[in-house]
Amino acid sequence: MSEIIPIGPYHPLQEEPEFFKLHVEGERVTKLDIEIGYNHRGIEKLAEAKSWDQVVFLVERICGICSTSHPAASVNAMEDLAGIEAPERAQYIRTIIC
């Protein structure tokens, strides 16, 4: 007889909120259903009302475990839109941090 074991959406071993539904028969997992997207914060909508320099601090809070990669991607996108090339030293620092 199959049994369903729910894990999440918040669990101490998970880095981000996810919901796992394990279908088990005895000690064997026969099926796994995963639901993600529990951490929607509406960052895009919040960013519309902010200035470009405030958005960087907002983007840092998208994900708790990757607080450097999201701002770096955001800044790279802003630089591309503005047609600006970052100084060589800034590029080296970004490579080390990310």
**pLDDT tens by residue, 36-73:** 876 677 888 888 999 988 888 888 888 777 778 888 88
Instruction: Find the mean pLDDT for residues 3-30.
Output: 84
Contact of 52 with 78, CB cutoff 8 Å = yes
Contact of 48 with 55, CB cutoff 8 Å = no
Please say if the pLDDT value at position 96 is more than 80.
yes
Residues facing 6 on adjacent strands: 21
CA 12 to chain CA centroid, Å, is 17
* pLDDT at residue 8 in the model: 78
The two three-digit tokens of residue 19, written as one number: 């919901």
pTM of the model: 0.56
pLDDT range class, residue 12, cuts 50, 70, 90: low
